[in-house]
Amino acid sequence: MKIGIVRFPGSNCEVDVWEAWRVLGQEPKMLWHQETSVRGYDLIVLPGGFSYGDYLRTGAIARFSPIMEDVIHFAHEGGMVLGICNGFQILTECGLLPGALLRNKDLHFLCQPQYLRVERTDLAFTSLYQEGEVIQIPINHGEGNYSIDDAGLKELEENGQVVFRYVDKTGVENELGNPNGSRHNIAGIVNRTGNVLGMMPHPERVVEEIVGGTDGQRLLLSLVQAWERRMQYGA
Amino acid sequence: MEPRIWREMGLTDEEYERVKVLMGREPNELEVGIFGVMWSEHCSYKTSKPILRRFPTEGPQVLQGPGENAGIVDIGDGLAVVFKMESHNHPSALEPYQGAATGVGGILRDVFTMGARPIAVLDPLRFGPLEEENTRRLVRGVVEGIGGYGNSIGIPTVAGDVYFHESYRGNPLVNAMAVGLLEHRHIAKGVASGVGNPVMVVGARTGRDGIHGATFASVELSEESEAKRSAVQVGDPFMEKLLMEACLELIQSGAIVGIQDMGAAGLTSSSCEMASRGDSGIDMDLSLVPRRETGMTPYEIMLSESQERMLVVPKAGCEQEVEAVFHRWGLEAVVVGKVTADGMLRLLENGQVVAEIPAKALTDEAPLYHRPTREPEYYARLKEQKLDGVKAQKGYGEILLDLLGSPNLASKSWVYRQYDHQVGTNTVVKPGGDAAVLRVRGTNKGLGMTTDCNARYVYLDPYVGGALTVVEAAQNLVCVGAKPLAITDCLNFGNPEKPEIFWQFEQACAGIAEACLVLETPVTGGNVSLYNETNGEAIYPTPTIGMVGLVENLEQVVRNRFSEPGEEILLLGEVSGSLAGSEYLALFEGVEAGALPPLDLREIKKRLDFMLSLIKEELVMSAHDLTEGGLAVALAEMAEGCGARVSVQGENELELLFGERLGRILFTVKPQDAGKVQELAQHAGVSVTRLGESGGEAIAMTVNGVMMLEVAIADCQRVREETLPKALN
C-alpha cells in the first residue's frame, strides 16, 4: 500500500504517523508541502501539528500549500484522505469537509485520553471496529470545538457522516464526555462519498501498548484491509 | 568616559579598571557594553563559580561536563542523552506567557545545538500563594506559555513540579529542562576554530527585543522592573521548529566545525564564547547581520536577544551547503565574518572597526568574587524550635483529605493536561508518575527523568536540604526502575551580595556536591539564577535538580499505583518521619521549623541500589517515594484503582502518618514474593517493614492496633483533583 504523509512546515506528528504505520508493517513516504503531485498513492495522511505555526487561523495557510491543490483533486477522484487534528482543520479549511474547528470551550489546550464511540463501520477507515464500540484515543488540541450551522449539522447527521463521537466511559454522549464543546459531541466526520475522514483524536498515538494503548491500530488496519480488497477484487 | 556609562552597563568601578588593564587602553562605549553583559552574573557566574567548582563533574558515563551548551551522558549502543536546565524567572514575572515560552525555546536550543534531537521538556514552577489573584494570573500565563511553545514545536512536556509559597509572591520561578538524544558521532560543540573558516548567522532576523535581558536577570526585581518589560523576548515556536530541523540536518551533514545558540547576550556571548573555546578570534561585520528593523546600532545588534537564532562556523567552502539547508526550511543563513588566529573579537560596521576585544578577556578573564558568608539568624532559632507540643486539631481522616487538597499536594493534572506530553509517541510513564520515562526508539531502553526541590528543607537546613534535592530526584528515578546517571541544576537564590544568602548558596551547593558524589550522579551543567528578590525579600533557596536515569529494560518499568488488590505493601526505610519542615506543620500550624532528620547518604544509596535490584528481578509491582505529607499521603496517591489496609507501630501518631523523611520508598510485591524480598533485604542490610495489603475502596490505617483513619479513595481522588481547577478556571 502506498501511503503518503504530507509534511508542512510546522507539522509535528508526521513522524509519529510514519512510525505507527511502520509498526503495522507499512512503509509510508513523507511528502514535502512543496511537491505538486500525489499521483499513485493509495492514501494521503495530513498529520497533526501546527502547520505554518497556526498563525492567522489553524490550517488556514496550509490549504494554500502547493501540494494541497493535488490533494483536493485526488480526493475528488475518490482517493483516500485521512486528516488528523491539524489535518482535520486543514480539511475543513480547504472545503473537503464541512464545518470548522474553534477554540475549546474552556479555552485551554487539552492533552488527555478520550473515550469515543464508533458510529459507522461500513467505511474503509473503520471496518475493523464494532458499531457502537467505545474506544479510547487521546486528544491533543486547543482548537477542536467542532462547529457547523444547524442546516449543515442536520445534513451531517442525516447522511450518517459522523464517524466518531466523544462519550463518557459508559459510551453515553453527554456534556461530561465532551472535552471541547463540539456540536453533537462530534470528534470525527467523513465526506459524503466516504473517502475523506477528518478527526481530532490521534490514532497514531495508540498503536502500541507500551505508550498507552492499541485502540488506534484498527483504524489504520481497516485502511490496509480495504486496500487489499480493492487490489484483490479491483473494486 | 563618565562613570555613569559603565555603571549603567552593569560594571562596578573596579571592574571598569580591570577592563582597562585587559584592553591596555580606554574602551569605547560599545566595548564597555559588551564587557557589561559578559561580566554580568548571568553570563560570567562571577559570584557562583568558586562554589560550583566543588561539584563532582566526572564519571565513566559523562561524555561532556559543564562548560558547553548542555551536558552529555552515555547510555550505550552508541547513543547519548543530552540535557540541561535553565531559569526564566524574571521575564516570567513580568510577562508570564512570553517569559515561560522563551524559557522553553532557549533550553531546547541548548540541546539541539549539541546535535541532539530534543525528546522531552520538564518544567519546575514556583509561585506565590494560590489564593491570590496575581498568582493565578501568573500560573495561567506561564502554563499557557510553556504549552504554547512546547506543543507547537512538537516536543512533549513530560514532567516537572509546581509549588506555592509566599516567598515566591513577587518572584515566581520558571525553570525549564530539556532532554535530547543523539548518536555519539553527531556531537556538535560551540567552538570556533580553523583560521579562515566563515562565521554565519542563521535563523531569525535580529531585532531590538530583549536588549539587556542578561543584565536584567542579574538584578533584583522592583517597582521599576515593569519599565524593563522590553527586556522580555518574544518567542516564535514555528520559527524554532524550522531552525531545529535545519540545524540537525546541518550537523549531521558534517559541514560544520561549531554551532552555538544565541541565548542570553545574543551575538555577543555566542561569538566570544565560541572564539574563546577554540582559542581563536572572530571578525564580524555587523552591517551584514540580517535585521528586522532599520537603524540598529552595533550595540543593539550585539546585545539583542531576539530568539531563534544561531551562530554557525562551517568548514570553509561549505557556506553554500549551509545556505541550501536553511533555505529549504525557509530560513536565512548569512556569512558575517570569519575565524582568525589572533584571539580578538573584532567587530566592524561597513568595514570600519568599531570594537576590538581579546575574546578571553570577556570569558576566562571575567572577575571572580569570593563573597562573604554569614549564618543567618533564623537558622539556629528554627532548628532548635521544639515541635513536641504539636497535637492533631481534627480527625486524621480529615487531615489526610486537607493535605491531599492543599495546593502543594493536590493533583497537577490541570497543568499537564495543557501540555502535549505524548507527541513523539515515546512517553511510557506520563506526568503524574514518580518520574517520566521515555522509550529510546530502536532499543529496549528507556530514559527516566525528573526535577525536584523541596525549598522548605533547603531554607531550614541548606546543606541537608541541598543534599535532599538530589536524594529526592534519585529516589523518584529508582521508583520507576531507572538507574540515576547524572544531574543538571538550576540554582535559584536571592541576592548573593547579602552574606546570609550567599551562606545558603554555599551550604546548599556543598550538600548537592556531597549527595552527587555518594549517589554517583555527577553534575553535567546547569544554570545559576541569583537576585531572586522582590523589594528586598529573597525567595526560599531553591536549587532545582534535574536528573536523568537509564531504564535497561522497558518491560521492567514500575508505576506508582497499586496494580491490583491483594498485593503486600512494604516500606523500605524508617517507618516514622518527622514533622520538621513538613507540609503538615506548615498547613495546620502555620509553622516552618524544626531540625530535619539526620542525613545518611550512604544508607540511602544502599536502599536505592537494593530497590533497583528488586525491580531488576521483577519482584516489584508498584513503587512510590515518601515525600510531602508522609506515609498517609503516599498511600492515598498509590490508591487509584484500589485501596489499602495498613498498620504501623510507633510512638507518635502524627509522625507515623504525616511525618516526612526522605530516603523511604513504599512498594508492593506479590504475596508469594514477600518472603524472598525480606531475605534479600536482610542480605543487603536494609530495613523493609510489612505494612499491610492493597484492596478495598478505602485507605485504612491503624497505629498500634487502633484505627486512626479510614477514607474512601473516591474522596481522596476528588479532593486531589478539584483544587487547581477550582482556583484557576
pLDDT digits (tens, 9 = 90+) for B70-82: 999 999 999 999 9
Percent of chain A scoring above 90 in pLDDT: 86
Which of the four pLDDT bands, split at 50, 70 and 90, describes residue B376? very high
Q: Mean pLDDT score of chain A, rounded to an integer?
A: 94
Mark yes or no for CB contact A19/B237 under 8 Å: no
Place of cell 531569525: B204
Mark yes or no for CB contact B422/A106 under 8 Å: no
CA quadruple A56, A59, A61, A63: dihedral positive or negative?
negative
Is the CB of A172 inside 8 Å of chain B's CB atoms? Answer: no
Per-residue pLDDT at B228 = 54
Q: Which residues does A127 contact at the CB level (< 8 Å), separation at least 6?
A: A121, A222, A225, A226
Mark yes or no for CB contact B423/A210 under 8 Å: no
Is the CB of A113 inside 8 Å of chain B's CB atoms? Answer: no
**Over 80: is that where the pLDDT of B666 sits?**
yes
Percent of chain B scoring above 90 in pLDDT: 87
First-to-final CA distance of chain A: 15
Q: What backbone torsions phi and psi does residue B409 show, to the nearest 5 degrees?
A: -100, -15
Distance from CA of B181 to the nearest CA of A (A): 16
Question: What's at B585, amino acid-wise?
Answer: L
Per-residue pLDDT at B311 = 95
Q: Which residues of B527-565 are buried (b: 16+ CB within 10 A; e: fewer)?
A: bbbbbbbbeeebbbbbbbbbbbbbbbebebbbbbbbbee
Per-residue pLDDT at B388 = 87
Per-residue pLDDT at B43 = 87
Per-residue pLDDT at B213 = 60
For residue B429, give the DSSP letter: E
For residue B430, give the DSSP letter: -
Closest among B105, B94, B175 to B138, alpha carbons compared = B94
- Tell me which H or E stretch contains B483: strand B483-492
Distance from CA of B427 to the nearest CA of A (A): 6
Residues paired with B198 in a beta bridge:
B338
**Over 90: is that where the pLDDT of B231 sits?**
no
Which three-class secondary structure state does DSSP give residue B163?
A: strand
**Over 90: is that where the pLDDT of B219 sits?**
no
Per-residue pLDDT at B223 = 58
Mark yes or no for CB contact A16/B423 under 8 Å: yes
Distance from CA of B553 to the nearest CA of A (A): 12
Between CA A65 and CA B574 the distance in angstroms is 63
**Over 80: is that where the pLDDT of B233 sits?**
no
Q: Which of A13, A33, A85, A93 is catalytic?
A: A85
**Over 70: is that where the pLDDT of B195 sits?**
yes
Chain B residue closest to A112 (CA)?
Answer: B417
Is the CB of A119 inside 8 Å of chain B's CB atoms? Answer: no
**Over 60: is that where the pLDDT of B229 sits?**
no
In this structure, the number of other CB atoms found within 10 A of the CB of residue B641 comes to: 12
Per-residue pLDDT at B450 = 98
* Residue in A50, A111, A112 closest to B238 by CB: A50
**Over 90: is that where the pLDDT of B147 sits?**
yes
Closest among A116, A52, A91 to B239, alpha carbons compared = A52
Mark yes or no for CB contact A210/B417 under 8 Å: no
Between CA B451 and CA B223 the distance in angstroms is 31
Place of cell 531563534: B308
Mark whether A157 is an active-site residue.
no
List, as ranges, residues 186-205 from A with C-beta within 8 Å of B. Answer: 202, 204-205
Which three-class secondary structure state does DSSP give residue B512?
A: helix
Distance from CA of B117 to the nearest CA of A (A): 13
Closest among A144, A16, A142, A112 to B421, alpha carbons compared = A112
**Residue B41 or residue B447, greater confidence:** B447
Between CA A179 and CA A167 the distance in angstroms is 9
Which three-class secondary structure state does DSSP give residue B193?
A: coil
Distance from CA of B155 to the nearest CA of A (A): 8
Per-residue pLDDT at A209 = 95
Between CA A100 and CA B670 the distance in angstroms is 52
In this structure, the number of other CB atoms found within 10 A of the CB of residue B249 comes to: 14
Which of the four pLDDT bands, split at 50, 70 and 90, describes residue A52? confident
- State pLDDT tens for residues A151-197: 999 999 999 999 999 999 999 999 999 999 999 999 999 999 999 99
Sheet with strand B281-285: strands edge to edge = B256-261, B309-314, B198-203, B332-340, B281-285, B344-349, B352-358
- State pLDDT tens for residues B307-361: 889 999 999 999 999 999 999 888 999 999 999 999 999 999 999 999 999 999 9
Which three-class secondary structure state does DSSP give residue A202?
A: coil
Between CA B385 and CA B37 the distance in angstroms is 44
Between CA A130 and CA B104 the distance in angstroms is 43
Which of the four pLDDT bands, split at 50, 70 and 90, describes residue B230? low
Q: What backbone torsions phi and psi does residue A44 show, to the nearest 5 degrees?
A: -115, 130
Between CA A190 and CA B447 the distance in angstroms is 39
CA quadruple A16, A19, A24, A27: dihedral positive or negative?
positive
**Over 60: is that where the pLDDT of B282 sits?**
yes
- CB contact at 8 A, B625 and B664: yes
- CB contact at 8 A, B533 and B220: yes
Per-residue pLDDT at B444 = 95
Residues in chain A closer than 8 A to B142 (CB atoms): none
Which of the four pLDDT bands, split at 50, 70 and 90, describes residue B302? very high
CA quadruple B382, B383, B384, B390: dihedral positive or negative?
positive
Mean pLDDT within B231-239: 78
**Over 60: is that where the pLDDT of B214 sits?**
no
Which of the four pLDDT bands, split at 50, 70 and 90, describes residue B212? low
Mean pLDDT within B26-30: 93
- CB contact at 8 A, B59 and B522: yes
* Residue in B242, B330, B422 closest to A111 by CB: B422
Is the CB of A30 inside 8 Å of chain B's CB atoms? Answer: no
Closest among B343, B339, B355 to B200, alpha carbons compared = B339
- CB contact at 8 A, A187 and A166: yes
Mean pLDDT within B380-407: 95
Between CA A118 and CA A162 the distance in angstroms is 9
Residues paired with B337 in a beta bridge:
B199, B284
Mark yes or no for CB contact B329/A9 under 8 Å: yes
Between CA B508 and CA B493 the distance in angstroms is 10
- CB contact at 8 A, A140 and B423: yes
- CB contact at 8 A, A23 and A207: yes
Mean pLDDT within B457-484: 98
Residues in chain A closer than 8 A to B423 (CB atoms): 12-13, 16, 140
Between CA B719 and CA B630 the distance in angstroms is 17
Q: What is the dihedral of CA B577, B579, B581, B587, to 10 degrees?
A: 120
Q: Mean pLDDT score of chain B, rounded to an integer?
A: 94
Q: What backbone torsions phi and psi does residue A201 show, to the nearest 5 degrees?
A: -65, 160
- CB contact at 8 A, A166 and A136: no
Residues in chain B closer than 8 A to A212 (CB atoms): 422, 427, 430
Mean pLDDT within B564-593: 97
Residues paired with B694 in a beta bridge:
B644
Q: How far is CA B645 from the centre of its chain?
A: 37
Phi-psi domain of A67 (left: phi exceeds 0; alpha: psi -120 through 50; beta: other): alpha
Q: How far is CA A9 from CA A174, B83, B391, in A?
A: 37, 26, 61
Q: How far is CA B288 from CA B144, B202, B275, B284, B291, in A?
A: 36, 12, 19, 8, 9
Mean pLDDT within B207-231: 62
Tell me how long chain A is: 235
Residues in chain A closer than 8 A to B430 (CB atoms): 212
Distance from CA of A177 to the nearest CA of B (A): 16
Per-residue pLDDT at B222 = 60
- State pLDDT tens for residues B667-688: 999 999 999 999 999 999 999 9
Residues in chain A closer than 8 A to B105 (CB atoms): none
Mean pLDDT within A23-36: 94
Which three-class secondary structure state does DSSP give residue B365?
A: coil
Between CA B267 and CA B310 the distance in angstroms is 9
* Residue in A106, A109, A138 closest to B729 by CB: A106
Three cell numbers, residue B679:
531475605
- State pLDDT tens for residues B640-654: 889 999 999 999 999
Mean pLDDT within B160-167: 97
Is the CB of A53 inside 8 Å of chain B's CB atoms? Answer: yes
Between CA B207 and CA B289 the distance in angstroms is 10
Is the CB of A208 inside 8 Å of chain B's CB atoms? Answer: yes
Per-residue pLDDT at B167 = 97
Cβ-Cβ contacts under 8 Å between A and B: the total is: 84
Is the CB of A138 inside 8 Å of chain B's CB atoms? Answer: yes
- In terms of C-beta density within 10 A (0-12 exposed, 13-18 middle, 19 or more buried), how is residue B629 classed? buried
Domains of chain A (ranges plus CATH)? 3-233 (3.40.50.880)
Residues in chain A closer than 8 A to B441 (CB atoms): 19
Which of the four pLDDT bands, split at 50, 70 and 90, describes residue A232? confident
Active site residues of B: 42, 88
Chain B residue closest to A107 (CA)?
Answer: B729
Residues in chain B closer than 8 A to A136 (CB atoms): none
Mean pLDDT within B237-242: 89
Residues in chain B closer than 8 A to A108 (CB atoms): 144, 417-418
**Over 90: is that where the pLDDT of A61 sits?**
no
Per-residue pLDDT at B215 = 60
Chain B residue closest to A142 (CA)?
Answer: B418
Percent of chain A scoring above 70 in pLDDT: 99
Q: How far is CA B623 from CA B50, B112, B495, B599, in A?
A: 39, 34, 39, 22
For residue B588, give the DSSP letter: I
Residues in chain A closer than 8 A to B420 (CB atoms): 109, 111, 140
Mean pLDDT within B637-666: 96
